[in-house]
Structure 1
Amino acid sequence: MPMREKVPGQRKGKDYMESRKNRRRQRRLLPVQVLYNTCEQVFADCGPGIVPDPEKIRLLKTVLDGISGADVGVNPNMPFFREQKTEGLPTITYLHIHECDKFSIGIFCLPPSAVLPLHNHPEMTVFSKLLFGTMHIKSLDWVNGIPSNKVPDGDSSDALSAEARLAKVKVDADFIAPCDTSILYPTDGGNMHCFTAVTQCAVLDVLGPPYNDAEGRHCAYYIEHPLDRISANGISIAEEEREGYEWLQERDKPEGLTVYGVPYSGPPIAK
């Protein structure tokens, strides 16, 4: 019996056909539904401190890179983004899209000058997509192997700890939409960050896993101290690099910080 000639590049089998069907199905879905489905896939086998595989990281980043404000029902004309003529920090609105034990999806809506103070993401992998606007982001990671040092008395009345840990600055720059999705990891990529709205802006956030006080993943806030303000015994850092390091001291939740949660009202997702 003559052998049937194999067409170069041809792929066969049930898995290939199923993959083609999935791609066609994804093309028909709303972008926010694709995001939800992708998060389910990416975080399915993950947990606290477990980072998704690099291929899955790239997959979710690609989906987020392609999402716009319109895809999740937000735009600069919404009341959440209006400039606030009040004393203290402007109110930030959080649109809750989804949360389960594996991941959460939501949108931070920041009016001009709003600040989400320096805070951490314990044992989490976090994806942040700036949907519109200009935002200043500062992020840091702990420097391992360096002991904590005592903060001078009177330096921080709202602190929870008398000691500070050394951290290295990873990012300290303005971001203007459209821009690539930023990713931080449990011990790298700027796990502690601060958002400052230069203009009105919206940030689509994906956390895997989400905060959970009962499981020890609570949101901690920090006070920043210059490197030379606290004793640095045993630390050798070149003079030209010293501005890239800071001491971080855990603090109470900043007074005046208000994050107001509201239900998501954008395009629906099927769970």
Structure 2
Amino acid sequence: MPRDNMASLIQRVARQARLTFRGPAPGPGFGENLHRLQQLLNEVRAEDLRLAPRGPAAMPMPGAAGAAGTAPPVSYMHICETESFSMGVFLLRSGACIPLHDHPGMNGMLKVLYGTLRIACLDPLPPSAAPPPPGPAGPRRRALLRSRQLYTPASPPCLLTPHSDNLHQIDAVDGPAAFLDILAPPYDPEHGRDCHYYRLLEALPPGADPPALPREVWLLETPQAADFWCGGEPYPGPKVSP
């Protein structure tokens, strides 16, 4: 059952996000404000945004069908956006994946609302004189695969910064999932904050045990995958004025 304070909770999250990311760079009080934002975000539940977990095939997305008439694997509910941050909800169909991508110069916070996500986090590494492994032609970069963890509504928010966990891959595990997402500042190609997609150059041999993490990997920059696109849905929750 929705809590009586649900409107004030998501409104407080937005106002705390504005307070946390109001400056051009982390300054005095940033750590304290970020911790407070984490605490508030950790309280948010699906019912606070008037969301309910959906069945494996139930993902209505008005006007968002792909070229073949199929529903998109991922949908986005816009909540609010300012010059300093954006906030919304991503909904993933069962088995959907948001491919490995970066958040250049951006901070981010992700809180699972329902379902289970597997999130792989990587850090970019400085260029190296060592040659990359053989593979397709294209821009390469070194990265540190730091973690690959499962997140549920009981998990604390997943955090990213401009220098740590800045590259993410997000997979829905064992059913549909949804998460509340804050990015600060928002994507803006005109100011160098455009999204780039990557894939790992090396793959594990069949039957191999997962290697220990963290470990260094090579990434190949790729276009957005043909089987990934993001549709839109109206946000059903309480109105937010950041």
Q: Please confirm whether the aligned pair reaches a TM-score higher than 0.5, indicating the same fold.
A: yes
Post-superposition CA distance 1:223-256 (Å, at most 9, x none): 211299xxxxxxxxxxx86872210111101111
Distance across 2 between alignment mates of 1:81 and 1:148: 48
| 2:143 corresponding residue in structure 1 | 167
Query: Do the aligned residues in 1 keep the contact of 2:7 with 2:48 (CA within 8 Å)?
Result: no
Q: What is the root-mean-square deviation of aligned Cα atoms in Å? A: 2.9
| 1:54 corresponding residue in structure 2 | 31
Post-superposition CA distance 1:132-172 (Å, at most 9, x none): 111111111012252574563xx33xxxx624111111111
3-state DSSP of counterpart to 2:193: coil
Relative to 1, partners in 2 of residues 1:88 and 1:36: Cα closer, same or farther, differing over 3 Å? Answer: same
Query: Do the aligned residues in 1 keep the contact of 2:187 with 2:194 (CA within 8 Å)?
Result: yes
Distance across 2 between alignment mates of 1:227 and 1:77: 33
Relative to 1, partners in 2 of residues 1:149 and 1:203: Cα closer, same or farther, differing over 3 Å? Answer: farther
Q: Which amino acid aligns with 2:83?
A: D
| 1:184 corresponding residue in structure 2 | 160
Map residues 158-237 of structure 1 onto 2, 5 A cutoff: 162-188=138-164, 190-198=165-173, 199-226=175-202
Matched residue count: 222
Query: Do the aligned residues in 1 keep the contact of 2:146 with 2:214 (CA within 8 Å)?
Result: no
Q: Is 1:80 aligned to 2:59, yes or no?
A: yes
| 2:13 corresponding residue in structure 1 | 35
Query: Do the aligned residues in 1 keep the contact of 2:115 with 2:178 (CA within 8 Å)?
Result: yes
Query: Do the aligned residues in 1 keep the contact of 2:122 with 2:146 (CA within 8 Å)?
Result: yes
TM-score (ref. length: structure 1): 0.73
> Per chain length, whose mean CA-contact separation is higher, i.e. which structure has more relative contact order (CA < 8 Å, sep 6+)?
2
3-state DSSP of counterpart to 1:56: helix
Relative to 1, partners in 2 of residues 1:248 and 1:173: Cα closer, same or farther, differing over 3 Å? Answer: same
Relative to 1, partners in 2 of residues 1:163 and 1:148: Cα closer, same or farther, differing over 3 Å? Answer: farther
- Stretches of structure 1 lacking an aligned partner (at least 5 in a row): 1-26, 229-239
Distance across 2 between alignment mates of 1:269 and 1:77: 24
- Stretches of structure 2 lacking an aligned partner (at least 5 in a row): 62-67, 205-210
3-state DSSP of counterpart to 1:97: strand
TM-score (ref. length: structure 2): 0.81
Percent identical residues:
27
From 195, 199, 220, the counterpart of 1:249 = 220
Q: Which amino acid aligns with 2:33?
A: K
Map residues 3-152 of structure 1 onto 2, 5 A cutoff: 30-46=8-24, 50=26, 53-77=30-54, 79-80=58-59, 91-144=73-126, 146-147=128-129, 149=131, 152=134
> Cα distance, 1:87 vs. partner?
11
